[in-house]
Structure 1
Amino acid sequence: MATNLAVDDNLISEALVIGGCNTKKAAVTEALIEYIQRRKQIQITSLFGTIDYDSDYDYKKNRSRT
């Protein structure tokens, strides 16, 4: 999908250097991947304290060695 973006040239230049990317497309793609991963991590942290667990569960008993 072709998309035209107006992006600050200084930001793109810095991203190319820091990321070691050869093209603007590679820099933008890498930045989007990192952005999405970070947002997913933030969503996961909202689950802390909301999941019930069984205090009688014995994880050592359920280990299997193959």
Structure 2
Amino acid sequence: MMRTNIVIDDALIEEAMKLSNLKTKKEVVNLALKEFVQTRKRKNLKDLKGKIEFADDYDYKKMRKSL
């Protein structure tokens, strides 16, 4: 964990707390950071679309069954 002091828009944090039903600013900031990271990771995966070639014998349905 890293302790830090930051200036946050009061109206924005209040709106985020209402929308999320979270009780503390810390919870809201942590959730926002998690969602930001998840969104960026998904975006990066979308950038790979059409750039990956699968083996001719690749069977995604068979792979799903083994999970």
Q: Shorter-chain TM-score category?
A: 0.7 to 0.9
Structure 1 unmatched ranges of 5 or more: none
Runs of 4+ in 1 over 4 A off after TM superposition: 62-65
Instruction: Percent identity, please.
Output: 35
- What's 2:38 paired with? 37
Larger radius of gyration: 1
Q: Which has the higher helix share?
A: 2
> Following the alignment from structure 2 to structure 1, what is the Cα–Cα distance between the partners of residues 54 and 30?
39
Q: TM-score, normalised by structure 1?
A: 0.82
Pairs within 5 Å for 1:1-66: 1-55=2-56, 57=57, 59=59
Q: TM-score, normalised by structure 2?
A: 0.81
> Following the alignment from structure 1 to structure 2, what is the Cα–Cα distance between the partners of residues 58 and 51?
13
Structure 2 unmatched ranges of 5 or more: none
**CA apart distance, 1:10:** 0.3
